[in-house]
Each structure stands twice: as structure tokens, then as C-alpha cells.
Chain A
Amino acid sequence: MSQRIVYLDNNATTQVAPEVVAAMMPFFGNLYGNPSSMHTFGGQVGAHLREARAKVAALLGADPGEIIFTSCGTESDNTAIISALKSQPGKRHVVTTRVEHPAVLSLGQDLERQGYEVTFLPVDRQGNLDLDQAAEAIREDTAVVSVMWANNETGVVFPVAELAELAKAKGALFHTDAVQAVGKIPINLRETSIDMLSLSGHKLHAPKGVGVLYVRKGTPFVPYIIGGHQEHGRRAGTENVPYIVGIGVAAELAMANLEDENTRVRALRDRLEDGLLKMPATMVNGDRERRLPNTSSISFEYVEGESILLGLSDLGICASSGSACTSGSLEPSHVLRAMGVPFTAAHGSIRFSFSIYNTDEDVDLVLDNMAPIIERLREISPFWAKAQEAQAGGAGS
């Protein structure tokens, strides 16, 4: 039996675009040469790397020389922050936020253990940062400010261009984890003061295991992986040629699909969200205005996320949850906790994240099936009964 899969978990990872798969195939076949080789057979591969670099640069509004290929988003994040610290040894302070992906958050905690000072900026109930608070946090001895462009759980978009200016004014470098933003909202680095930016292939229809670090021309840089002279000595190790070719094509597709993402995909997301919000005790987590077009974090109070996911999974619907049972840590998502989402809602939060491959039928399937799943679990939940009683009691008095 093969069930139709309705994939609404595109912030976790995406389907590799068929065009990307096709472009990669020759590099698993005839074109297996090493771009560093002196012979023509290997050397011809170098041209394909250059092409991929130019495509990624075009997507970001950058120059090809500013693009470094890495093994993933996490490597890009680590490289950027550690480079900023190593290139400015006198500065031992880092500013970031409480809602970063673990690729930055855990690194920040590790830097604290190593004796660096790290400020984790809070967010408000809507998931937004306070720019004044950020400005105050940046000091003369701040080496780097690292703030994600868009949040992977809620889709909330941070004002990174403004933050980059604040960092610049204090002489600090600015890095942004743009893993969730690239391909979903327009980015033009030439118009900003952002010094470094991370992106990851598998969030934009390229394979897992390839990423990019953008480093603005003139920004001090210390490599993280030391060895050969690849990537102009900025990231050693023989290039993952097929995947780099893949991410180049994915970048080209992302540019072409940006319009669709911000119109049709946004409309799908909004229709799903509006439909689900008709259920009682249901709320959206995060600022609905300042958000990626593809993401919806929605809480169904008094029920637990894993149970909801299992109900959806039986129907072939893929989504995520910020509940304790799914976070792998026994506590609910650090993002929702930082926002002050009450426990009743944090444990019952579900993230739906779309891509250009989603359709109206996908939204229909979820809308047709969500209410029975939630109602069933609420019937089992002791808190739902209590909440209902309280409401009835309140209305009656």
C-alpha cells in the first residue's frame, strides 16, 4: 500500500528538486575528476564549481569571491562565529538571541564555558527582538553579533539589516544564520552591512550535507577547517563537487520561484492557518505580519503535540511539534519558552512549513482531518474538561 505523502515539514528539510538531481548525476558518473588536478579531465570540473558559485552569489546579491562552500549550515554558523573571535583576539563578547537554532545557541553556550561572555537577547510574546535592547547589548569589546534572519520554528523574521548597522556602529562583525530565510524572502547583501551569512542546501531543494558561508570582501577571516588550498584557502578539503553543482541549480530555482513562494505558497499557508484557527483554544505562535511566507506555528491548547503528529502521520501528513515529547529534551521548544508561550499551548504546538511543491489538496486534507484529531485528544485530556467546566462556571455566574 502506498499512501500519498503530504509533506508540510519543509523547515526540517525539503525534497531535492528533480532539476537538481539531474544536474548532479554526471558528477557521480563520467565527471568524477578533482577540480584541483592539473589535467584537463579534472580541471574541466572547476568550471562547474565556478558556475555554481556565481549562481549562489546571484541569489544573495553577492560576488562569487564572497561565497565559500561548506558541508552544512551548522558548519557555516560555527565557522563564522569562531572566525570572528579568532580574528579579533582582544574582543571576548558575543551577542546572539535566545531563539537561535542549536547550531548557534549551543555554540554560544560552549563559548561561555570557554570563558567568553555571551549575551542572549530575549524576544517578546510575538517572538520579536527589541532593537533598543540589542543596541545596548553591543559593546566596544563585542567581536560578533549573530542573529538569525528567520526563525525555523515560528518563521518570525528579524530586522537583520538594522541589526547589522548597530553592530557596525560599534565596530563589531555581524553574522546571520539565514538558513530558513534564503529562497523564501528577497535578499540583497549589497544593500546591507551584513558581514557573514550562513545557508544550507537541504532547506532549499538541494541535498543534505552542503552549505554556504558568505563572507563580505574585506572581512577578516580565519578558516575553521585547515588543510589544502581549496576555496582559496578558506575551507580545506576536496570540494563535494556533485552537491555544490546541486546547490548552484537550487539557488537558480529559488530565484525563479521566489515570486511563487510569496504569493501562492503564502496563500496556502494562510488558508490552512485561517481554517485551523476556527477551532476553539487555538492560536498562532509568532508575529503573523513579520513572518516567512511558508511557516505556521499553531498551538492546540490542552493536547500534546506528539499525539497530534501521530494522528497526522497515520494520514500521511508530515509536520513537526515544539512539545516536550518531540524536542528530545523532555522540555518544550526553547523558542516557544523564550516567547513566553504558556505551557498549555507550548506542549500542543504544531509547525506546518510549506514549499513550492505543496498544493491546495494538501491544505484540504489537513483541514478535513485536523478537527477530529484534536477533538478526540481533547476528550481524553483532563485539562480540556477542566477548562470547559471553568468556562461554563464563569458564564453561569
Chain B
Amino acid sequence: MWEYNEKVKKYFTDPPNVGRVEDADGVGEAGSLACGDALTLSFKLDDDGKIADARFQTFGCASAIASSAALTEMLKGKSVEEAEKLTNKDIAEFLGGLPQEKMHCSVMGEQALQAAIRNYRGQEPLPQEEGEVVCQCFGVTDQEIRRVALENNLHTREEITNYTKAGGGCESCHGAIEDILAELWETEGAGQAPQVSIPSARPKKLTNIQKMKLIEETLEREVRPALKADGGDIEFIDLEGDKVMVSLRGTCSSCAASQATLGQFVQAKLREFVSEDLVVQEVKP
């Protein structure tokens, strides 16, 4: 059982600012359904350029919901420039602290805020922080690990997992995370400011998480509505390399004749919107 303080509990049980601002000036997303928590943040400015309204929709545990609600409260009345300076630490402090294992919920808030501000400025959403992906399970890059480590003064692999989820899945990247930390704090110890270079190129290859997210979105947007029209549905089960496992529900799955064409339809959509290499495979429910 997690130990949440009263303020976190209150923001979970009775969160302010649930929903989506109409005619929002900025909308940002972070997290994904596959990862177990996700947040959509939207805000609207008043005539003086201050945030007049901010709202959230969150899928996640109590601390994810509380962190999102806290963030929307903190945003109100701030200019975009002021808002931009908010970090995950501010969110956690506003709530009177979060359990260590739950700090990644506050990091998700910061990520959604940055995405919403990019959106407001008309910049492309960053599908992923730049850099090399270190944790394949959760799609966390070395840049993200360095940034969060510096902002929060983190020195151990465990702390990095608590704050970014990196290393919380198959655990095969623990060594790599430790190497990044050793390098980061060694330069710091030598009295130099740690180097955080921001390479401008986007990662050329999609990580698993990015891919899953895109697949989810494409199915939602391009495929599901068509199936629902016939009373059916499709579920995204898993991704193994380029193999997309899906299962069909409802009346579609009982109509054997449509299966072959349906598979082709889904695959065509996914190849168009996600990656040329994807192969769709149906698993029987």
C-alpha cells in the first residue's frame, strides 16, 4: 500500500479542473495507455497572456491523478514563460511530497506541460525526448535520464526508476543507467557543469513505446470507428518486433469471411501511419 499524504488523497478523491478546455490555446500529452499512465493537459490564456483555465484528463494511479490536478491549479494566473519554468519538483512540493516510487507521476506532469507549451507555440510535438533510448520497455532516453537526475539531484539507479520508470521493466538497462549516472556526477564532482547537449535530430527509429502509441492511435482513429459501425471492435494485444498482435471482438470475430480482408485493412492502415515493416497477426480471443 502506498503512503499518500492528506493533500495527495484530497487531490485524488476530489480533483479540480477535470476535463478539456474548450478552444484551448495549448494541448499536450504525456505517457501512454501501454505504460499504465497518461495525461492530456489543455490550457487557455486570457487577454493579458495569463493562463485563465487549465484542465486535465488522466489515466493512472492516485498520485498521477493528484499530480495532474495539482499542476492545473499551479498553472492558473501564470504567463506561459512562468509556466515553462515549472518542474516535477514543484508539482511534488505543491502536494507536500509524493512517495519516492511515485515521482514519475510528477515527471509526467512536467512532460505534458512542456508538450502543451510547444503546441501553443506551434511547434511540432516531440514524440520522445531526444537522445538515445536507454530503457526499451518504457522508451526513456539518456537525455531524459540526465535531465531528471540533474533537476532532482538523483544519484542511484533506483531513484532514476522511481522518477522516470527507466529500468522498471525487464531490468536489462540497469548497467547502462548506472554508467550514465557515474559519468554525469563524475564531471560534476570535477567542478565542471555537467554537459547536457541537446542534439537536434529526432530519433530516426521509433522505439517500442513510440510504436505502440502510434499503433494505438491509428487503430483508434482509422480502424475502430469503421468496425464499430458493424458492431465489432479490435483490440491491440501486443507488439513483438514488427509483429502487431490484435484480436477481434464482437460480431466481426464471428464473421469468418471478413477476417482476411480485415487483416489486410488493418495492416494497410498501420503501414501507412506507423511503419512500413509492420505485420498484423490475429490472435484468437
Chain A residues packing against B (C-beta within 8 Å)? 124-125, 302-307, 310, 313-314, 323-325, 329-332, 337, 340, 342-344, 347, 379-383, 385-386, 390-391, 393-395, 397
12 contacts across the A-B interface (CB closer than 8 A): A125-B247, A125-B283, A303-B59, A306-B61, A330-B36, A331-B36, A331-B137, A347-B36, A380-B59, A382-B40, A390-B225, A394-B224
Residues of A with C-beta under 8 A to B256 = none
A340 and B38 alpha carbons, distance in the complex (Å) = 21
A287 and B236 alpha carbons, distance in the complex (Å) = 20
Instruction: Identify 20 new A-B residue pairs, CB closer than 8 A, beyond the known A307-B65, A331-B168, A385-B57.
Output: A125-B285, A302-B59, A303-B59, A304-B64, A306-B61, A310-B62, A323-B61, A325-B37, A325-B60, A331-B169, A340-B247, A343-B36, A343-B236, A379-B18, A382-B38, A386-B220, A394-B224, A394-B227, A397-B226, A397-B229
A314 and B13 alpha carbons, distance in the complex (Å) = 10
A124 and B237 alpha carbons, distance in the complex (Å) = 12
Residues of A with C-beta under 8 A to B169 = 329-331
Q: Is the CB of B38 within 8 A of A394?
A: no
Residues of A with C-beta under 8 A to B13 = 314
Nearest opposing residue in chain B for A337, CB measure: B238
CB of B12 within 8 Å of the partner chain: yes
Nearest opposing residue in chain B for A310, CB measure: B62
CB of B204 within 8 Å of the partner chain: no
A302 and B235 alpha carbons, distance in the complex (Å) = 13
Q: What sequence of 0s and 1s flags, for each residue 164-186 of chain B, a beta carbon within 8 Å of any chain A beta carbon?
A: 01001100000000000000000
Choice from A125, A304, A342, A390 contacting B224 with Cβ under 8 Å: A390
Chain B residues packing against A (C-beta within 8 Å)? 1-2, 12-13, 15, 18, 20, 29, 33-40, 57-62, 64-65, 137-138, 161, 165, 168-169, 220, 224-229, 235-238, 245, 247, 283-285
Nearest opposing residue in chain B for A305, CB measure: B61
Cβ distance B20 to chain A, nearest Cβ, rounded Å: 8
Cβ distance B27 to chain A, nearest Cβ, rounded Å: 11
Nearest opposing residue in chain A for B138, CB measure: A330
The 10 closest A-B CB pairs, nearest first, are A394-B228, A330-B168, A324-B36, A382-B57, A306-B61, A325-B61, A394-B225, A382-B40, A381-B59, A342-B235
Residues of B with C-beta under 8 A to A330 = 36, 138, 161, 165, 168-169
A80 and B168 alpha carbons, distance in the complex (Å) = 31
Q: Is the CB of A340 within 8 A of B61?
A: no
Question: Given contacts A329-B169, A342-B236, are A310 and B226 in contact (CB under 8 A)?
Answer: no
A340 and B246 alpha carbons, distance in the complex (Å) = 9
A124 and B39 alpha carbons, distance in the complex (Å) = 32
Nearest opposing residue in chain B for A326, CB measure: B61
Q: Is the CB of B229 within 8 A of A304?
A: no
Q: Is the CB of B33 within 8 A of A344?
A: yes
Q: Is the CB of B62 within 8 A of A340?
A: no
